[in-house]
């Protein structure tokens, strides 16, 4: 029983740290731009951004840094699927494609990761799955005599 409790503590503790590692983005009014935040709402402040034109993903069209609120405005010159790449320099990032209309406006997007309850459900499911696998192999090694 102590092994199970230690196992649960060791696996549950990192799950609380994983919550801040998701990345979300949305478009906003007042220009052609994107806003990027972590799952907890903290902005991707001063993160590196690279924008690629439709059909030319090998050449950077525009690059720069997000502002203190995690926003970046760019000037598309054609409609189509634009790709943006954002990195905070600490291992978190996002590569996503956004659609620009014929009027050179972004189509409204609001991508969000899993909410807290969905993350908890996934975490608990992983823990139960790993525990079940552990019990399966432990029972397989134990010889039952009747």
The Cα–Cα gap between 108 and 26 comes to: 8
* pLDDT of 19: 46
Three-state SS for 109? Answer: coil
pLDDT in tens, 27-62: 555 557 788 888 778 888 999 999 999 888 788 999
Q: Is there a contact between 55 and 80 (Cβ–Cβ < 8 Å)?
A: yes
The predicted model scores a pTM of 0.57
Q: How far apart are CA 34 and CA 71, in angstroms?
A: 6
What's the pLDDT band for 20 if we cut at 50, 70, 90?
very low
Which range, 36-40, 42-46, 90-94, 135-139, has the best average confidence (pLDDT)? 42-46
């Amino acid at each position: 029983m102590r092994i199970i409790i230690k196992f649960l503590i060791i696996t549950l503790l990192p799950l609380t740290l994983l919550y801040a590692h998701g990345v979300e983005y949305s478009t906003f009014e007042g220009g052609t731009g994107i806003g990027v935040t972590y799952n907890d709402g903290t902005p991707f402040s001063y993160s590196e951004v690279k924008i690629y034109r439709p059909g030319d993903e090998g050449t950077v069209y525009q690059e720069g840094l997000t502002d203190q609120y995690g926003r970046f405005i760019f000037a598309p010159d054609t409609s189509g699927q634009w790709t943006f790449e954002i990195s905070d320099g600490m291992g978190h990032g996002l590569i996503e494609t956004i659609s620009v209309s014929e009027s050179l406006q972004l189509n409204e997007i609001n991508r969000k990761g899993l909410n807290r309850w969905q993350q908890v459900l996934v975490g608990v499911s992983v823990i139960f799955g790993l525990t079940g696998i552990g019990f399966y192999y432990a029972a397989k090694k134990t010889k039952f005599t009747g």
